[in-house]
Amino acid sequence: MLRVAGIIVLLAVYIWFIVDVISSPKSSVRNLPKGIWFIIVVFVPLIGGAIWVLFGRTKPIGGGRRKRRNPSAPDDDPRFLAKLEEDAWKRRMRERRGES
């Protein structure tokens, strides 16, 4: 049973390496093109994945989240809210003047 669990863990790590290579943006891959890294990870299963983690990827392994620079929704964007307020003000002024 322990052997089966070990095989399942190794298979899961192997699949994670493949998914990580595929999902990494091309701009964040180091040393080799992304396609070459994919071939290395697929054909040299665990050693290729370890090499990928050490020399190919730039993101931290420990779930290092990047802070968003831009607002995540339109109502979080001050410029968008200011534009809405300005549009509403212009609409009210047109209504007061009797324009359509």
Cβ neighbourhood burial of 18 (10 Å; 0-12, 13-18, 19+): middle
Which residues of the chain carry a pLDDT beneath 50? none
What's the sign of the alpha-carbon dihedral 16, 18, 24, 30?
A: positive
pTM: 0.54
DSSP state of 19: H
For residues 65-81, one letter each, b for 16 or more C-beta atoms within 10 angstroms of the residue's C-beta and e for the rest, the string is eeeeeeeeeeeeeeeee
Token pair of 41, please? 């990870």
